Chains A and B, each alone.
Chain A
Amino acid sequence: MFVELNNLLNTTPDRAEQGKLTLLCDAKTDGSFLVHHFLSFYLKANCKVCFVALIQSFSHYSIVGQKLGVSLTMARERGQLVFLEGLKSAVDVVFQAQKEPHPLQFLREANAGNLKPLFEFVREALKPIDSGEARWTYPVLLVDDLSVLLSLGMGAVAVLDFIHYCRATVCWELKGNMVVLVHDSGDAEDEENDILLNGLSHQSHLILRAEGLATGFCRDVHGQLRILWRRPSQPTVHRDQSFTYQYKIQDKSVSFFAKGMSPAVL
């Protein structure tokens, strides 16, 4: 959890809003630091987190999580974190026939139509336990990242359907939050990705967009973060709020500053 980003977003783990979909987007840079931020943020907020990690291994998130002050192994052991490691599961699915439906079942099929098994997995992971005591505040679904599903043969519409089902369950029914990461391919003319990105942009309450600098590589400023608050359900009388900051990623934190106000320049 980056304290400076919390300040910019005006939230703390204690009083975060519920029922929101946050879209993380990166263009020409690596936006994975935002995923690490939200993962540690929601673990510190004592939420039940279901993390669908499709692009990196568990140890990667665990080691970065330790730098940010959360222990993923302990969270997994006490049941706070349900971790779907996409890479390991893909190897299991592809090389061994599975008896029960596996969340990544679509890898075995030539023309997989939908992501229903994955949605079932998420619903099962986040459903509230009826034991009476409420251990966790609210459920959170984290997906890193959705563009990989397009690379694995799913269509943009199937992925949008999956997000829609998840939103209905997690955000509306269970009053939880969702955070998803999508890559913006920019000028690579990836139509499916553009459909996915535009569709999600219209549905989300908060969009965090990490962009590389237009002028190229810089050692002191790693990129630019655009924060956009939206209210998709209500007709917008006021214009959506948007802020832009530049950032520099350090070993354990990220520092944000206004455009052109990098400490290296001043």
Chain B
Amino acid sequence: MAAAATCGSVAASTGSAVATASKNNVTSFQRRGRRASGTNDSGPRLVSITGTRPSVRNGQLLVSTGLPALDQLLGGGLAVGTVLLIEEDKYNIYSPLLFKYFLAEGIVNGHTLLVASAKEDPANILQELPAPLLDDKCKKEFDEDVYNHKTPESNIKMKIAWRYQLLPKMEQIGPVSSSRFGHYYDASKRMPQELIEASNWHGFFLPEKISSTLKVEPCSLTPGYTKLLQFIQNIIYEEGFDGSNPQKKQRNILRIGIQNLGSPLWGDDICCAENGGNSHSLTKFLYVLRGLLRTSLSACIITMPTHLIQNKAIIARVTTLSDIVVGLESFIGSERETNPLYKDYHGLIHIRQIPRLNNLICDESDVKDLAFKLKRKLFTIEAEVQKGVSTATFLLDGPRKKLFPCLFQLLEVACIPWLMASSSVFKASNIGLSPYVTNSLVFFLLLSFTFKDPCNYIGRT
């Protein structure tokens, strides 16, 4: 009976480690004994899946969206079993990037991918994924034998974040041995061919599937949606992501990506007519998809051209049926392009909804005015510059692998009571730029202490 209990038991048993210990002045990463959940029959020990981590708040299993900055804004990442809906920007320039980051993250972590599109062949989408940024040490590890557990990292004793040495090693499922959560990608380079070929992916290209004669169950959805649902359900069952297949024991995540859902290419007319005949098709699809996701180890990203939907009621319903909703608004063609306030940015990013899963509250970011910027190689999300107050830049030095996990986790500890915006923010002057800095992701925090050089900070504490 692992199907319905998967999410619940996964949440309960992995979550005991990081429950609300922060209230008792104990570090929130203290490991407690596993709560004996009555329905936990998923084996003797729950193995950590690569690329996932339990949420700090309620132990919910999270996967990265591919953009560490977005993960931070969403409360740590995308919860397994939920849908991330991206409302496309007007000319569909930036939303495919987020889509690709999500898929690239899946390949780097060794997750199974399911790519569905009505416009582009999924094989072509995979060819255009951005290359992950791995530094030299990680490249060496990547070339080594996968089963060699003696990685150089394990020999080096951690000085500051020594508790992490007590955590078990992540089981190596994918070819890439970096066990980090959230990677950086170089948007100007393509993902290496060997990584794509080593990954397990399934493609759903609507023009091909619509002509084949799959047995279609009677349903009032448009044929495209029905076929897609059946395809997804088939993969989930065949590969054992919902635990109901007795032959397949799957301990991996299925990442589903659906592009341009709701556009006329899917056979849906909500973008063309206000009160079309299929006005319930999309919402029914989302509901059944939600049912499939909640009972399996999968996470889904959907991009939807909501700016084209004529009926606002449908947008409201779609928002209710999705878990996380992120809206992109690019400045191209609008009057904001010439506004001096926005001259550094390419658009605004709105976090419209964050779910409250297994909890009464959710991790909302206090910063609501967020803008994004696509630099030559990276996609950054920043809080909008307020008048007269300059915001602090915190540059994460990505490729310094030893430093980074400690820094990132420490940052998380520092930010757990989401530091309130104080007016005493300042510009970090000299960050000790290294050549790798331009490749890292910039993200804003309003902090109450100075940052000069990440190395110095570690030394100081």
**A-side interface residues toward B, CB under 8 Å?**
30, 32-33, 36, 55, 57-60, 62-64, 67, 73, 85-88, 90-91, 94-95, 97, 107-111, 147-148, 150-153, 183, 185, 187-193, 216-217, 219, 249-252, 254
Query: Which residues of chain A are near B58, meaning CB under 8 Å?
Result: 63
CA distance A88 to B288 in the complex (A): 9
Check A251–B361 contact: CB distance below 8 A. Answer: yes
Q: Which residue of A lies closest to B220 (CB)?
A: A110
Check B312–A188 contact: CB distance below 8 A. Answer: yes
Q: Determine if B357 is an interface residue (Cβ-Cβ < 8 Å).
A: yes
Which residues of B from 413 to 446 have beta carbons under 8 Å from A?
418, 420
Which residues of B from 281 to 299 have beta carbons under 8 Å from A?
283-284, 287-288, 290-292, 294-295
Query: Which residues of chain A are near B315, meaning CB under 8 Å?
Result: 188
Question: Do A90 and B360 contact each other (CB < 8 Å), given the known contacts A58-B4, A59-B8, A73-B38?
Answer: no
Query: Which residues of chain B are near A183, meaning CB under 8 Å?
Result: 316, 320
**B-side interface residues toward A, CB under 8 Å?**
4-5, 7-9, 11-12, 20, 38-39, 58, 217-220, 229-230, 233, 280, 283-284, 287-288, 290-292, 294-295, 312-313, 315-317, 320-321, 356-361, 364, 366, 368, 418, 420
CA distance A109 to B284 in the complex (A): 12
Question: Do A185 and B313 contact each other (CB < 8 Å), given the known contacts A94-B217, A249-B360?
Answer: yes
Query: Which residues of chain A are near B360, meaning CB under 8 Å?
Result: 33, 36, 64, 67, 249-252, 254
Check B287–A148 contact: CB distance below 8 A. Answer: yes
CA distance A221 to B108 in the complex (A): 41
CA distance A193 to B290 in the complex (A): 21
If A94-B217, A189-B313 are given as contacts, then 15 extra A-B residue pairs at C-beta distance below 8 Å, sorted by A number, are A30-B356, A59-B11, A63-B58, A64-B359, A64-B360, A90-B291, A95-B233, A97-B217, A150-B317, A153-B280, A153-B284, A190-B312, A217-B368, A249-B361, A250-B360
Check B294–A32 contact: CB distance below 8 A. Answer: no
5 contacts between A and B (CB under 8 A): A151-B320, A185-B313, A189-B313, A217-B364, A252-B360
CA distance A264 to B315 in the complex (A): 35
CA distance A86 to B4 in the complex (A): 12
Question: Do A59 and B7 contact each other (CB < 8 Å), given the known contacts A95-B233, A249-B361?
Answer: yes
CA distance A252 to B12 in the complex (A): 16
Q: Which residue of A lies closest to B229 (CB)?
A: A94
Check B8–A63 contact: CB distance below 8 A. Answer: yes
CB distance from B8 to the nearest CB of A (A): 3
CB distance from A97 to the nearest CB of B (A): 7
Check A188–B283 contact: CB distance below 8 A. Answer: no
Check A190–B317 contact: CB distance below 8 A. Answer: yes
Query: Which residues of chain A are near B359, meaning CB under 8 Å?
Result: 63-64, 251
Query: Which residues of chain B are near A185, meaning CB under 8 Å?
Result: 313, 316
Q: Given B287, B357, B364, which contacts A152 in the complex, CB threshold below 8 Å?
A: B287
Query: Which residues of chain A are near B11, meaning CB under 8 Å?
Result: 59, 63
CA distance A205 to B217 in the complex (A): 43
CB distance from B323 to the nearest CB of A (A): 10
Q: Which residue of B lies closest to A186 (CB)?
A: B316
CA distance A63 to B292 in the complex (A): 20
CA distance A150 to B384 in the complex (A): 38
Check B317–A94 contact: CB distance below 8 A. Answer: no
CA distance A109 to B287 in the complex (A): 15
Query: Which residues of chain B are near A147, meaning CB under 8 Å?
Result: 317, 320
CA distance A10 to B321 in the complex (A): 34
CA distance A58 to B39 in the complex (A): 13
CA distance A90 to B356 in the complex (A): 22
Q: Given B4, B38, B217, which contacts A95 in the complex, CB threshold below 8 Å?
A: B217
